[in-house]
Structure 1
Amino acid sequence: MKFSSSFGALSASALLLATSVNAAIELDINDRESIKKAAAIAAAGMRKWYTGDRPGDVPGNLPDPYYWWECGAMFNAFVDYWYYTGDDQYNAITMQALQHQIGDYNAFMPQNQSKTLGNDDQAFWGMAAMSAAENKMEDLPTDQGPSWLALAQATFNTQAPRWNTENCGGGLKWQIFSFNNGFNYRNTISNGCFFNLASRLYKYTGNQTYADWAVKAWNWERAIGLMSEDFHFFDGTDDRQNCSSLNRIQWSYNAGVHMAGAAAMWNATQSEEWKTKLTGIIKGTDVFFKDNVMFEVACEQKGTCNVDQRSFKAYLSRWMGYSMLVAPWTRDLLLTRMQTSAQAAAKQCNAGDNGTTCGLRWTNNGVNDGSFGVGEQMAALEVMQNLLLDEVPGPVTEQAGGISKSDPSAGSEAQSEPVEFDTITTGDKAGAGFLTTVVLIMILAGAWWMVS
């Protein structure tokens, strides 16, 4: 996952000029057919941005300025769309993309993505596979790839050995490879994704090892301070300073990824401890809502959200929906916010030549802000389609309805096959150190700019 400020392939100004004050996605939150129709419109709008299925293009890649991880997140949204609505028109491109990006160790580590491959990037693809398993999407044929569950297990099995105790007492680094900028940064989303995946694998399989890792990741984040006592989640910390200082900017997806993981842990254990933690996380998301409408507090009101950040509300919406499915008592805490946000999102999906293109801000009473792209469409789609939670039975498990085949050792061969690097010169080392320092300074400076 990287930082970018480009707008994307479509012309925002052209789309905005085409806005019609009379058009918008119509949504009746009490009518399931209305919700399905609204979700279908948002999904079609997101599909238009994807070119990976075209001749000569690469399945599982979005065009510039999008990074690889967001394409995995997008296909998770399509998995959710099929699950909630029953509309399978995007299943073929979803399966094609997931299969094409499996990469080394059957763990979503394609070699051509190594320069942008962080633990969080890999995990977003792994979580898409986990959703496919939980939602009973048919596995790939055995001669075409591993099962969805095995892909999620391989993602976990390649990440667990990266738990780094050289400093900070543990945790995952942001980047997998030392030649990538940000290698010395330990960010909350990488560790949160690991916690999320471990928790859901525990819920699905019942294997205690996953639970132990989930608890270990949670406790480490809390001890370091990436998670506050009142369940606010901060961006990350520098391991060259032994994680002694924090970048305290808050992003909605950090809260969401932990919310879903805690919900899975509560579901699997039924414990008061996890109920208390989950309740705390939900209350901590107050910072991302204004009059029950979701917004990205760090950048949205100032118009400084980059391409990555414009998708973050999609994941909070996704994981709020997941939490309500696996921990039904959370509906009293979450559903009103989901409904109000969905109405606000639909109301401003009124741009483009079809009058249904979605912008970023949902808090402008239906005024489209002219920010368009995959993230904006995905966020609107997720917040609307998750209103259909009463139409689905909820995520399955290995013992209760699951059909995806388990492979607990998937990806484990990565532990005995070290990455081979080109010879590194003193100049390379100095350059890498300088670039990493620059990246961390930019992260901290960007955080100051967005919250000041």
Structure 2
Amino acid sequence: MKPFRRRSLLAAGFSAILSVQHVLAIQLDLQSTDSIKAAAKTLAGDMVSYYTGYRPGDVPGNLPSPYYWWEAGAMFGALVDYWYFTGDDTYNAITTQALLHQVGPDKDFMPPNQTKTEGNDDQAFWAMAALSAAENKFPDPPEDQPQWLALAQAVFNTQAARWDTTSCGGGLKWQIFAFNTGYNYKNTISNGCFFNMASRLAVYTGNQTYADWAVRMWDWCSAIGLRDAQYNFFDGSDDNLNCSQLDHIQWTYNAGTFLVGAANMYNFTGGSQEWADRLNGIIGNLKLFLKNNVVYEQACEPVGTCNVDQRSFKAYLARWMAATAVKAPFTYSLLKPILEASATAAAAVCTGGVNGTSCGLKWTEGTFDGSIGVGEQMSALEVIQSNLIDIVSGPVSQDSGGTSKGDPNAGTSSDIGPSDLNVGEVTTADKAGAAILTVLLIFFVAGGAWWMVT
């Protein structure tokens, strides 16, 4: 074959591939409910394609490497949202299976095989998925299984018991166990997720105690400086220095978790001006994460350093912006345009992968950037399906149609408090032995739980 002929055939083949990707790219018309649902369906399918936990012999609830346990909990939270927004129950069975399989022996999302990686924020992401299930009336588990509200309450109770006054005047440490790196760091996402849960539990149950804890957390973060007067939310502080110095890096999900927490406190207090002012402050400072009203991860996207975790952060900001617009309706006109612009931009970069519908990371660039994974897909899914907030019923509470059964005392007898965490550093031999035991536990215990749940 002559060289020019080979080149022309290759060019034709490449053009054909590009044309197929163009056809298969996410088509999104924000004026059409059907179009939004169709886009969400494609995105959800691509996201779930990374998940293997439903397969016999695998562990329900776990994503394969390189994803950590917490992101799996976040993904199932996205699938709870997916069912809520679209009514499509395709993934309800694996979502229920995963959430129930990972509750741990004390039903507080503390599975023993995650001890080496589980921090307070990790635990909270699973609890927030369960809390969303309660708020959205996701189908309740069988009566002999842990219930969504009780699971969220259990995690709240375990974390309230970890409020640490030995340094910084309070707050939660990032890590639960002293042998994990980051034990001496009090980070904003762990404390913000606690604020998130407390405020939402206050609204769902009507219990003032949760609201009091939310106020306590907000005040502590403000006093320490994790939130400043301009509503910047910094990453965290070293409690060995008594939180006298801050890591000033900012992430979308830190702003997002305080945003939705403040919205729920606004709702709980009947629309108090104090919480309205705080909401306006947070929303006003979201400009840090926006380019032409499109969300981007300003700390890592421009320089191409976003790691696996960080590639999912925009999903949570989108999720919590939508919830904020519902819980504090005056914010709708401020937040909906961001969701719309970001959804349009996200859909435009979902042209990668084998199917031509894998989403890139950088929505602001207008083209697929080659970055694919659970985080990229989940972020696009959440921001696109969030544009359905106008056509779904609002979240429920115990007094407005909620069916999930709670237990205010859940988790109070099983918590590992701060005084239990000062154990020695784990040695290499310990880690190796733990790895072997974990593998055996997975095969013998998880397999049985698979059949029990299904």
In the superposition, the TM-score normalised over structure 2's length comes to: 0.88
Does residue 382 in structure 1 map to residue 361 in structure 2? no
Query: Which residue of 1 is the match for residue 449 of structure 2?
Result: none
Structure 1 residues 287-332: Cα deviation after superposition (integer angstroms, max 9, x where no partner): 1000011100000111100000000000000000100111111111
* Corresponding residue for residue 359 of structure 1: 360
SS at match of 1:106: coil
Alignment partner, residue 125 of structure 2: 124
State the partner residue of 1:271. 272
Task: Give the CA deviation at 1:419.
Answer: 8.7
Q: Which has the greater radius of gyration? A: 2
Q: Does 1:230 align with 2:264?
A: no
1:330 matched to 2:325:
no
Q: Contact 1:102–1:110 at 8 Å: present in 2 too?
A: yes
CA distance, structure 1, for counterparts of residue 414 and residue 100 of structure 2? 19
Residue 287 of structure 2 aligns with which residue? 286
The superposition leaves residues 329-365 of structure 1 with CA deviations (integer Å, 9 ceiling, x where unpaired) of 1111111111010000001101122211101010112
Aligned partner of 2:301 in structure 1 is 300
Partner of 1:442: none
2:66 aligned with 1:65, yes or no? yes
Equivalent AA in structure 2 for residue 141 of structure 1: P
Instruction: Give the root-mean-square deviation of aligned CA atoms.
Output: 2.1
Q: Which residue of 1 aligns with 2:214?
A: 214
Instruction: Structure 1 unaligned segments of length 5 or more: list them.
Output: 1-16, 429-452
How far the C-alpha of 1:423 sits from its partner, in A, is 7.3
1:97 correspondence with 2:98: yes
Shift in CA distance, 402/266, structure 1 to aligned 2, threshold 3 Å: same
> 5 Å matches for 1:120-269?
120-143=121-144, 145-269=145-269
Specify whether residues 28 and 48 from structure 1 end up closer, same or farther in structure 2 by C-alpha distance, changes over 3 A only. Answer: same
User: Counterpart of 1:128 in structure 2: which amino acid?
Assistant: A
Q: Distance in 1 between matches of 2:225 and 2:204?
A: 29
* CA shift in 2, pair 1:356/1:248, >3 Å: same
| Alpha-carbon distance between aligned partners in 1 of 2:138 and 2:259, rounded to the nearest angstrom | 24
Structure 1 distance, partners of 2:423, 2:392, is 53
Are 1:19 and 1:352, in contact at CA under 8 Å, matched by a contact in 2? Answer: no
Contact 1:18–1:355 (8 Å) recurs in 2: no
AA in 2 matched with 1:202 = A
Q: Classify 1:165/1:345 alpha carbon distance in 2 versus 1 (closer, same or farther; 3 Å).
A: same
Distance 1:159 1:84, change over 3 A: same
What amino acid sits opposite 1:264 in the alignment? N
Partner of 1:8: none
Percent identical across equivalent pairs? 61
> How far apart in 2 are the matches of 1:310 and 1:60?
20
Q: For structure 2, which runs of at least 5 residues remain unmatched after alignment? A: 1-15, 428-454
DSSP 3-state at the match of 2:237: strand
Question: Would the alpha carbon gap of residues 241 and 363 (structure 1) be closer, same or farther in structure 2, given more than 3 Å must change?
Answer: same
Return the TM-score normalized by structure 1: 0.88
Q: Could you say which residue in structure 2 is the equivalent of 1:45? A: 46
Quick one: distance in 2 between partners of 1:419 and 1:85?
45
Kept after mapping to 2: 8 A contact 1:27/1:38:
yes
* 2-structure distance, mates of 1:22, 1:387: 23
Residue identity opposite 2:188 in structure 1: T
Task: State the shift of 1:230 in Å.
Answer: 1.1
Tell me how far apart the structure 1 counterparts of residues 417 and 287 of structure 2 sit (CA, whole Å): 45
1:176–1:28 distance in 2 versus 1, CA, 3 Å: same
Alpha-carbon separation, structure 2, partners of 1:295 and 1:18? 29
Aligned amino acid, residue 66 of structure 1: Y
Aligned residues: 412
Structure-2 separation of matches of 1:417 and 1:333: 41
* Aligned partner letter, 2:350: C
Give, in whole Å, the separation in 2 of the partners of 1:377 and 1:18. Answer: 21
Structure 1 residue 424 displacement after superposition: 3.6
Q: 1:157 to 1:180 in 2, by over 3 A?
A: same
Q: Secondary structure of 1:391's partner?
A: coil
Q: Answer whether contact 1:19 1:350 (CA < 8 A) is retained.
A: no
Contact kept? 2:179, 2:424, Cα under 8 Å: no
Aligned to 2:112: 111
2:435 aligns with: none
Using the alignment, how far apart are the partners of 1:234 and 1:43 within structure 2? 31
Q: Give 2:351's aligned residue.
A: 350
Assess, with a 3 A threshold, how the Cα gap between structure 1 residues 424 and 89 changes in structure 2: closer, same or farther: same
How far off is 1:104 after superposition?
A: 3.5
The one-letter code matched in structure 2 to 1:259 is L
- In the TM superposition, structure 1's runs of 4+ consecutive aligned residues that sit over 4 Å from their partners are 17-21, 415-423
Alignment check: 8 A CA contact 1:104 1:110 kept: yes
The amino acid of 1:257's aligned partner reads T
**Residues 204-253 of structure 1: per-residue CA shift (max 9 Å, x gap):** 00111100000000000000000011111000000000000000000000
